Amino acid sequence: MTDVSNPVQAKHDVLIVGAGPAALTAAIYTTREDIETVLYERGVVGGLAAITDMIDNYPGFEDGIEGLKLAESLRKQAERFGAVIELGEVTAIHDEGEYKRLETTDGDKYARAVLIATGSDYKKIGVPGEETYYGRGVHYCATCDGAFYRDKTLVVVGGGNSAIQEAIFLTRFTTHIDLLVRSTIKASDVLQKDLQELVAAGKITVHLNTTTDEIVGKDKFVTSVKATKDGSPAEFTVDGVFVFVGLDPNSIFLKPTPIRLDEIGFVLTDQNLMTSMNGVFAAGDIRSGATMQIASAAGEGATAALKIREYLEGRKHPVQN
């Protein structure tokens, strides 16, 4: 075991796992109060917000804002106050008293307080062909991959806000989209109105009560999607498939630890956003009960930062009995 008293070892006031809106907002608050803060991000700084085409419901932007632009602004603001963002992956967290030991791809790191803000990832539908053709016709990010399908036909799977929003975005490139919805559309009224305009224009065809059964390909590329519509087999000849059926928590690295998770895998916290491990907090989409909205993730990041400050001050000045 590494000796935390060794000054060569990396020790921090706060280590934030993740660099999405919750993490970056927390870092803005901690660093403004001179609390030394490092963020570890294994993927894209800004999280899923960074790969969202247009964000219309984040306060303060009356015409909306591109997800990548919002993420970049949050990053620059955090770095302006002194936050350090490092690319790497945290694989485990251990409670060793005053410091928490984090196993990372860069070796062990130590922090007096930890914020878990790893967010969520796109949920898979788990049908034959999905994994085989991932990146070769099967996608989960319209902003990232939509432009590859200019003048092509697509299937979009899902009926919630993200599915409708991304399908609308994809009409910029495609000639036609078949939207496969397991039951009924559950998107907001605003998005449903926009969808109906595209249906009327012949850009999108909606298939309700339709399950996706298999993604078929030839020569390493998707050629069609097999489905069941109203109890009968159906097949759609397409060039690609975009799946938007919800999110899975990025919490696999926590499962060997005593940090408690709910039945799905989201992190359980108390009213102070602290997990079952003392000094370890959680905020944003990774937290059980989160609303999965960028604005609320940012708010939770700010709250977590304030609770972390209180925790660190309490450790510095313990109550005398």
Locate the domains of the chain by residue range: 10-122+247-316, 138-243
* DSSP string covering 149-202: GTT-EEEEE--SHHHHHHHHHHTTT-SEEEEE-SS---S-HHHHHHHHHHHHTT
Query: How far, in Å, are 82, 94, 202, 217, 247 from residue 89 at the CA level?
Result: 21, 15, 45, 34, 20
Q: For the domain covering 10-122+247-316, report its CATH number.
A: 3.50.50.60
Print pLDDT tens along the chain (321 aa).
334 444 345 799 999 999 999 999 999 999 999 999 999 999 889 988 888 878 888 999 999 999 999 999 999 999 999 999 999 999 999 999 999 999 999 999 999 999 999 999 889 999 999 999 998 899 998 887 899 999 999 999 999 998 999 999 999 999 999 999 999 999 999 999 999 999 999 999 999 999 999 999 998 899 999 999 999 999 999 999 999 998 889 999 998 889 999 999 999 999 999 999 999 999 999 999 998 889 999 999 999 999 999 999 987 644 333
Tell me whether the CATH fold assigned to 10-122+247-316 matches the one assigned to 138-243: yes
Is the CB of residue 39 less than 8 Å from the CB of residue 27?
Answer: yes
The end-to-end CA distance of the chain, in Å, is: 33
Take residue 311 and report the two structure tokens written for it: 């925790």
Name the nearest CA neighbour of 130 among 198, 197, 38, 225: 225
Q: Around Cβ 236, how many Cβ atoms within 10 Å? A: 20
What's the pLDDT at 141? 87
Q: Report residue 271 as tokens.
A: 């009213």
Contact 190, 219 (CB under 8 A): no
Helix axes 161-170, 189-200, angle to 10 degrees: 40
Taking the C-alpha atoms of residue 242 and residue 133, their distance in angstroms, rounded to an integer, is 11
What three-state secondary structure class fits 133? coil
Contact 17, 117 (CB under 8 A): yes
DSSP 203: S
Can you tell me which residue has the tokens 């928490």?
100
- The CATH architecture one would assign to domain 138-243 is 3-Layer(bba) Sandwich (3.50)
Residue whose C-alpha is closest to residue 239's, from 210, 208, 217, 219? 217
Those residues whose C-beta lies under 8 Å from the C-beta of residue 209, and which sit 6 or more positions away, are 181, 182, 183, 229, 230
> What is the DSSP track for 248-293?
EES-GGGTTSS--B-SSSPBP--TTSB-SSTTEEE-GGGBTT----
Q: What is the pLDDT of residue 9?
A: 58
pTM over 0.95: no
